[in-house]
Amino acid sequence: MSRSTNQAKALVDAWFILLRYKWRFVFPLFVVSASVLAFSLLLPRKYQAEAVFDRRTDHVLASIMVGSGQKTYDQHTTSIKQELTNGLSLDKAIEDVKPYVVQRFKAGGPEVNLVELRADMARKIQVRFEIATQEHERISVKYIGTEPVVTRLVINRLVQNYIDQARSQIAKGLEDTQSFFLDEVDRTRIKIESLENQKLTYEIKYSELLPDSPNSINVIQTQLDEKISELNRQLILAKSQVDSSRQALANTSKTINSFVKERNPELIRLEAKLRELQTGYRTAVVVNKMTERHPDVQDLKVQISELQAKIGQTETEVVTRKTVASNGHFDELKLSLNQAIAKQTAIEDEMSQVVERRESLNVKAADLFPIRSQYRKITRQMDQLQREMQFWEENLRRIQMARSADDGNRGVQLAFIRECPKLTRPVAPNVFQILISAVGLGMIAGAVSLLFAHRTDETFHDGEQLSTAMHLPLLGEVSEIVSVQHRRMRKVRNMVLYPLNAVAMTAVLMTLVSVLYMNLQHPQNTDTIKQDPMEFVQSYLEDSTIDATPVVEARQAD
């Protein structure tokens, strides 16, 4: 509570002090503010020139176009700043505006030291990335100079020269890269042709030892092994056929006996006799009515039995004639044996040839590994060179397309989107800064004067202050005696003099502010050349280019 009371009391005391010594505060405020405003009219003006350009980058295409891409984004932005602040573009910009500076100086204009301007721009040029991505950059180039026209010209020419230089570097990079790719394509093609000749030589000379060949030694060996197995099986069958034919031939005679057989006459006689006995038996039994016990019947039965037994022992047929002839089956067996022997011999001959071929392949197989290794090495080299050839040809095609395309299709697209306009208003000092400075310095001066007046004031406003300060007893107080003349003078001072002073000071300050505003917002045109500076520089550069063209053509002809 006491703290807030003390603060309120201090503010009240400060207000009363200000009211008491108001003119001690107003006059320093007026003098300092007017001095600052008047001095600001003499300060040099600084103008800010700003130009903006775009840079759009296709990093894949750009890396192919120039042969190598930017490693990091920071390195890329740093290189742009270095090229703009201390590169050939700045030197070229100074050279471009030099004819205008010389012409203006001859026409009575101010002189500009281009060397100092070059050094000052190298220190003070500001490069700011308004948009900063990997694909799109919007770059603002600013410079604050004292000469508005020259500053504008230099900034515009700096950005334009940087764009031209970047495009020329891209074009030169494309040309160098195309030459490099052409050399690589030719070199790779020569290597491929050499390897193709080596591969063809190997395929002709070592066709049986090469992999993935229908005449490969592995395939032939497998076929020969299968053929040997088949020939062994056929040989075994042929040998068994020869053996069976020889055995059959050994069991077959060369001749064959032919017999003529007829019915046995003895058997015919015995059968006729048997019929006679049977007829006599039937006659005796049937006709003569003889019994079985009759001796004749018994005798007939015995004869019949004996005769039947003899007939059973007699052969039915007997050989009546014998003929000897050659055996045809023996000749057939002999022919079959000869054929089997011939087949066996043919199989054995073929077997020997196949085995000999197999042994020769085994001898060649000793060189299989080194030949196949070298052949595969040649094949791998050809595949690698084919891929390299495809890579170089693809890049060469892109380079050729890029060289025939516009700047935007070359990986980096540069566009001057906003040139620096005509500079009419300075950035330093400006009206707001001057007003703030004048008011601030005036307030400080008034406050110092007010503090000094308060500290040096020894006036006592009542008897108690006087008694306390002088350590004297207070006997009484007498009020100030104010005469009519003194009152009139005080009234004139308060009603006329002080307001007139305030009006005069306000008028002076407003006049200075108006003059300063008009001077800063609408500066006087001191350019002695009536033609637009940008048009003058552009026309001069075009004339220089036209004049330089015959020299270039003559050099090219040489």
- Go through 35-56 and write b for each residue having 16 or more CB atoms within 10 A of its CB, e for each that does not: ebbeebeeeebbbbbbbbbbbe
Copy the structure tokens of residue 234. Answer: 């056929």
Q: What stretch of H or E contains 293?
A: none
- Quick: pLDDT tens for 7-17: 777 777 777 77
- Go through 13-26 and write b for each residue having 16 or more CB atoms within 10 A of its CB, e for each that does not: eeeebeeebeebbb
Q: Determine how many CB atoms are found less than 10 A away from the CB of residue 7.
A: 10
Cα 110 from Cα 539, distance rounded (Å): 22
- Quick: pLDDT tens for 82-124: 878 777 888 888 888 888 888 777 777 777 888 888 888 888 8
Residue 524 pLDDT: 54
Residue 130 pLDDT: 85
For the question of whether the overall pTM of this predicted structure is more than 0.95, the answer is no
Cα 540 from Cα 518, distance rounded (Å): 34
Q: What is the mean pLDDT of residues 198-221?
A: 70
Instruction: Estimate to the nearest angstrom the gap between the alpha carbon of 96 and the chain centroid.
Output: 41
Cα 171 from Cα 165, distance rounded (Å): 10
Contact 347, 237 (CB under 8 A): no
Taking alpha carbons only, the member of 45, 14, 117 closest to residue 521 is 45
More confident residue, 325 or 70: 325
Copy the structure tokens of residue 418. Answer: 């906003």
Q: What is the mean pLDDT of residues 538-544?
A: 64
